[in-house]
Amino acid sequence: MKLVAYVELAIFARVLFGLLLWRNSLLMPIIYGMFLRARYFQSPFTRQAFASLDAVILQGLNHPTIRASVPQAKTYYDILKGYLGRAVGTVLVPNDPAAQAAGAGAGAGAAAGTARPAAAQ
């Protein structure tokens, strides 16, 4: 499964490269990006692949020759990561039974009208 996650990232790179060369439609990277977003939230292997890609990019950006020739590259990369993080939205949370039980209890109390303000509890 780890290999599949890396292949999915390589396919996305190829799709983006094809877009730059006008070999793919504009819709193709959007749809594949949505697929990768879903895979990111469902697969720990895909999350690990993205983390290792991020580590490789940061290692390259922290290389002395890159830092000397393009000192703002890491800043631009951080801005890009922040933008992508907001664009894909991280509203999905991993399944945590304890958090679901606590959330369900609070939601049920609020729905029944029995919830009290935090200061009153």
CB–CB of 49/2 below 8 Å? Answer: yes
- Residue 26 CA to residue 32 CA, distance in Å, equals 11
pLDDT tens-place string over residues 18-27:
999 998 899 9
Sequence-distant (≥ 6) Cβ neighbours of residue 6 within 8 angstroms: 49
The residue ranges of DSSP E strands in the chain, in sequence order, are none
pLDDT digit string, tens, across residues 54-95: 999 999 999 999 888 988 999 999 999 988 888 777 655 556
- Which DSSP category does 71 fall into? T
Where do the domains of the chain lie?
A: 2-110
C-alpha to C-alpha distance for 93 and 98, rounded to whole angstroms: 13
Residue 23's nearest CA partner among 31, 14, 32 is 14
